[in-house]
Amino acid sequence: MTSLEDFVGYMKEEEEIATLVKQRQKDSRPNKIEEARKKLREYAYNKLKEAGQPDIDFSTETPDTLGEDKVRLGIEHGIEKAGRDSAKTLESSFNDVVNAIPQESLEKIAALKPVVENAEKDYAEYLGHYQEYRAIKELVEKYNAGKLNPKEKDFLTQIAAGKVRENIVKRMKDKGYDSDLAEKIGNLASLSARDGRINEEHIKESVGKVLEGAEKKFREYETKKGKKMVDYIRESLGKMATGNTDEFENARNIIYKTATGKFPEYRSAIKESEEE
């Protein structure tokens, strides 16, 4: 297994057991309480057996006969060990863990408050360029999914209209039409696109071109800077991971959530950081 897989495994164990403890304590449904109780007993039994708990005869003792004090002991032992193991893996193999997270996943946390606060000084300028690209990307994704609200659709259509004009002018010139005529036809097509009086396929094609252009502009900026967005993010997480207790635990949780897709959208990552 890779260092990232080990790290995620330990973190997931902590999370799943904490969820079961909460289910047992707070769920009012008898079947859910029993489900959590059974799983926690089995978990506690296995963890104590692995540790070779000296005052338990595992040849006769079973998960169902285990005393409540031993169940608590086993749960505490398991969660603490998983926490220590995840921390140890992150400390000893930080680069292996973080470098194995896909670029797209890391870029989703670009505007996360702790990431921004621990990044280099010029990161704010970098982030501004990225957010321009990301705003277009999200609009296009919503357009493709048919989820744009009227205001967003109007905004994207205005941008796409410019691309419609550009595409039509280029095609006409490539076919040998007079430049003035091509420009006039292009302007008419742009107006038609803005008013919704043009084939949706032309809009869709232009929307795709808008996204391509936005990404190209940002990636060119990355190249000019000589440093990628994800490099800033990794460095910021690294700074947190070598900081005080709160900073380390924050880094541990952010890395886990990023690696497992618990920040499904770019804006949800921003929102969660603001709420914490």
For 30-79, the pLDDT digits (tens) are 999 999 999 999 999 999 999 999 999 999 999 999 999 999 999 999 99
Does the predicted TM-score (pTM) go above 0.75? yes
Domain limits for position 52: 1-100
Specify the pLDDT at position 191.
43
Domain boundary among 72, 100, 128: 100
Cα 237 from Cα 239, distance rounded (Å): 5
Q: According to the model, what pLDDT value does residue 148 have?
A: 73
Domain boundary among 45, 67, 100: 100
Q: How far is CA 238 from CA 14, 89, 113, 122, 254, in A?
A: 22, 13, 15, 17, 12
Instruction: Please state the rounded mean pLDDT for residues 116-138.
Output: 89
- Are 41 and 128 found together in one domain? no
- Same domain for 226 and 124, yes or no, is yes
Distance between alpha carbon 85 and the CA centroid of its chain, in Å?
Answer: 23
What is the rounded CA–CA span in Å between residue 232 and residue 119?
Answer: 6
For the segment 162-219, what is each residue's pLDDT rounded down to a tens digit?
554 455 445 555 656 455 544 544 444 444 444 444 455 656 666 777 788 889 999 9
* CB contact at 8 A, 91 and 213: no
**What is the model's pLDDT at position 69?**
94
Amino acid code (one letter) for 27: D
Same domain, 251 and 135: yes
Do 145 and 75 belong together in one domain? Answer: no
Could you tell me if 141 and 53 lie in one domain?
A: no
The verdict on 119 and 68 lying in the same domain is: no
Q: 62 near 45, Cβ under 8 Å?
A: yes
Pair of tokens at residue 49: 């057996």
Among 77, 100, 123, the domain-final residue is 100
If one counts every other C-beta atom within 10 angstroms of the C-beta of residue 113, the result is: 16
